A = this chain, B = another copy of it.
């Protein structure tokens, strides 16, 4: 492994998981960690999310040959500016953000003299903060790396090997395409989940207590995603605005078509649509990207 000192800026779910994963899978690498929130730093120290938790970002990066920004997308530029003076020449700068074009620009503006290779591990849970991370988060998940053109190949290879060592499968992609793909596989699902949970809370004729009681009919699945970190998701939608709006337009057209099928009692159109969506589920399970057990293998609470 080419890196010996990895600095992690931001110690929430992703940053904490990287810290724990490095200790577990790459014990030869030293890690430093920093978070702008004092309480998060304290918890990070308790959980040993990095070998050393620093009281400033500049201290954390002082000897780093890889810096990974794990802050919300909208905070990347400011966090990068904070370490500009302290960052060793030759250190690779990366991140874990869910939108790549806007983050690449923010990091590039703040650190014009450094090699910046953005990355996005497609992994997470609905939890956030310094208690949420765990070492195996990246196992068998994809990590998309979006190198600039041209890119230092040795450094790119080192970053790819780093993520592979943490258990991820790495894919190289250009940032624009990444943003389009993630708009449909991640951003639109989150927007829709946030919307429907809000819709359900605001009804006059159905109480929130009823929504909660009968949520096992399907609604509860959406509440998991809608419990994700609001700051991060605000930044994702603003940072990947064009692709999200494009995908949302497509979704709106499609739901309008189904709405019309319901209104006109067009059962055949509904059936045809519903019958062709099973194959995708099967493929996702075959590729190891979801649990094959019914209902995600959720615990049956009645059996407790």
On A, residues with C-beta under 8 Å from B are 74, 98, 122-127, 132, 136, 138-142, 144, 167, 171, 177, 180-182, 184-203, 205-206, 208, 210-228, 230-231, 233-235, 237-238, 241, 244-245, 247-248, 250-252, 254-255, 258-259, 262-263, 265, 267, 270-271, 273-278, 280-284, 287-291, 293-303
> Bound complex: CA of A299 vs CA of B292, how far in Å?
9
> Bound complex: CA of A74 vs CA of B267, how far in Å?
10
Q: Report A121 CB to chain B, min CB distance, Å.
A: 10
**A274 near B142 (CB under 8 angstroms)?**
no
Per a CB cutoff under 8 Å, which of B138, B197, B221, B237 touches A277?
A: B197
Give every chain B residue within 8 A of A171 (Cβ-Cβ): 213
Give every chain B residue within 8 A of A299 (Cβ-Cβ): 291, 293, 297
Give every chain B residue within 8 A of A296 (Cβ-Cβ): 224, 296-298
> Bound complex: CA of A74 vs CA of B110, how far in Å?
62
**B213 near A221 (CB under 8 angstroms)?**
no
Give every chain B residue within 8 A of A187 (Cβ-Cβ): 217-218
> Bound complex: CA of A195 vs CA of B289, how far in Å?
21
**A200 near B185 (CB under 8 angstroms)?**
yes
Give every chain B residue within 8 A of A287 (Cβ-Cβ): 212-213
Per a CB cutoff under 8 Å, which of B142, B216, B238 touches A267?
A: B238
Per a CB cutoff under 8 Å, which of B290, B293, B303 touches A220?
A: B290
Given A189-B222, A203-B184, A248 and B255 contact (CB-CB distance below 8 Å): yes
* Copies of this chain per assembly: 2
Closest 10 CB pairs of A and B: A139-B302, A186-B217, A230-B274, A140-B302, A189-B218, A125-B294, A227-B281, A223-B281, A226-B277, A197-B277
> Bound complex: CA of A215 vs CA of B124, how far in Å?
12
Give every chain B residue within 8 A of A191 (Cβ-Cβ): 255, 258
Whose C-beta in chain B lies nearest to the C-beta of A214? B185
Per a CB cutoff under 8 Å, which of B185, B186, B213, B265 touches A142?
A: B213
Residue from A74, A194, A218 having most chain B Cβ neighbours under 10 A: A218
**A194 near B127 (CB under 8 angstroms)?**
no
Give every chain B residue within 8 A of A219 (Cβ-Cβ): 184-186, 189
Per a CB cutoff under 8 Å, which of B182, B281, B298 touches A297?
A: B298
Whose C-beta in chain B lies nearest to the C-beta of A240? B262
**A199 near B254 (CB under 8 angstroms)?**
yes
Q: Report A151 CB to chain B, min CB distance, Å.
A: 22
Per a CB cutoff under 8 Å, which of B127, B222, B226, B282 touches A294?
A: B127
Per a CB cutoff under 8 Å, which of B144, B214, B241, B276 touches A122?
A: B214
Q: Report A238 CB to chain B, min CB distance, Å.
A: 6
Q: Report A130 CB to chain B, min CB distance, Å.
A: 14
